[in-house]
Amino acid sequence: MANKLTYRVLPTDLFNLPDQEIKQLLSGLTYTEVIRSLILYEVNAIRAGEAREIRTLRGLWYKLIKPIVSRSGRLNELGANNKPVEWSRYLSDYLKELVDAGITSYQELAIIDGSRERRPAAQVDAQLIDVSMVGGHYPWVILFTEKDTIWPIVENIASLYGVSAISGKGKPAAACSENMTRAIIRTEAFKAAQPEALILLSLTDYDPSGYIIASAQLDQITTAARNYDGELGKLRQVIHKRIGITPDQLTPAELSANSYEPKEAGLTKWLKETGGIYGQPLGLELDSLETSRIRAMYASAIEAEIDLTSRYDDLRAAFIDLMACYRLLPEFNARRAELIAQAKQAAVYTAIKSARLSEDLFYNAAIAGEYWIGPNKTLQLFENYKGPLTQLWDNQLTGKG
């Protein structure tokens, strides 16, 4: 490991050590070295077979970093300018450092940042019975916004086109970006299409902060793709295309009404890069655009990146599926009602009603993060009754019942 990533190897029974030994282990280390040492302690524990539940970065802080630093007597130390040491900030910064270096990953540490929205491309479908209406999605095209106010717009248009979307809620979270990037690369649509690039389409404020945030999102996705531990196919790069907001997208009257003076941080560099508004250090809020214009900007940007031929083919196939479903539904519903009635009049129904189900069934489902008791689970619960019920209906169909 490079010198700048210095750390101390900590014993595997760290939590069982007396406070005095923990103090000795962490004494003399810089704040950076303390954090690195504890993160790598956790990495080694996981690689040795210790299980970890999915958690946020705050979970790692409260479960490991804070208690050990506290027991070392260093939690309330004063740092530069006689101010309290920002241990939690160091954790975020130096965990990212280790991830960027490819030494570990948020996935390995079971860290999912729940404070950020992310939406890997989802199946966009309309169903009657179990018929999938559409397919052919483009998860490698990623919509990004820093603004919660327009997230519903982004979410809906991503679903319409079958692309991915992520909301930064301000500064993007590296754990979120890694999680989303890995999910995209693992999709069947990605594997089938073998894209050469992930394409980030960003819409942010026209000011230094908006540009910094979009750049951070690009860096995080690039890092996640570079450190991906599986097959990337033909993927070679991440391309960033900023689709707005820019002064040319507003009329002179709108510019006059919506321009403002951004904060000083990064303003000089940003002004040199963009020219501000007519050379003036002025910015624009994304919220100054009507929602229809935001939708149009995203739609145009998406359609420039994807071939809609398969989407139109989906609609043609969906039409045939829908007509088939409409034709079969009356017969299906009548036959289903008949079979249900037969089951309720049979002896097997009494057995099903008296079947003992686990008293903690819903509790365990809640703990596991499930939002319903699905068909497969239901079939498993009544495994012993599938045979008799099937036999009953088979007999009815063959006239033996």
- pLDDT at position 169 is 60
End-to-end distance of the chain based on CA atoms, in angstroms?
75
Alpha helix locations (H) across 187-258? 188-193, 208-226, 252-258
Asked if the peptide bond before residue 245 counts as cis, ω within 30 degrees of 0, the response is: yes
Domain map (residue ranges) of the chain: 3-100, 117-309, 313-398
Burial degree of 339 (CB within 10 A; 0-12, 13-18, 19+): middle
- pLDDT at position 77 is 87
The fold of the 117-309 domain, in CATH, is Dna Topoisomerase Vi A Subunit; Chain: A, domain 2 (3.40.1360)
User: How many CB atoms are located within 10 Å of the residue 285 CB?
Assistant: 16
Within 8 A by CB and 6+ apart from 331, the residues are none
Distance, in Å, from the CA atom of 332 to the CA atom of 338, rounded to the nearest integer, reads 10
Instruction: Give the SS3 label for residue 260.
Output: strand
Within 8 A by CB and 6+ apart from 138, the residues are 121, 161, 162, 163, 189, 193, 305, 306
b/e per residue 56-70 (b: at least 16 CB within 10 A): bbbbbbeebbbebbe
**Which residues of the chain have a pLDDT value below 70?**
1-3, 113-136, 168-172, 397-401
Q: What is the pLDDT of residues 88-103, one digit of tens each?
A: 888 988 999 999 999 9
**pTM reported for the whole predicted model:** 0.75
The answer to whether 343 and 389 have CB atoms below 8 angstroms apart is yes
Instruction: Give the SS3 label for residue 143.
Output: strand
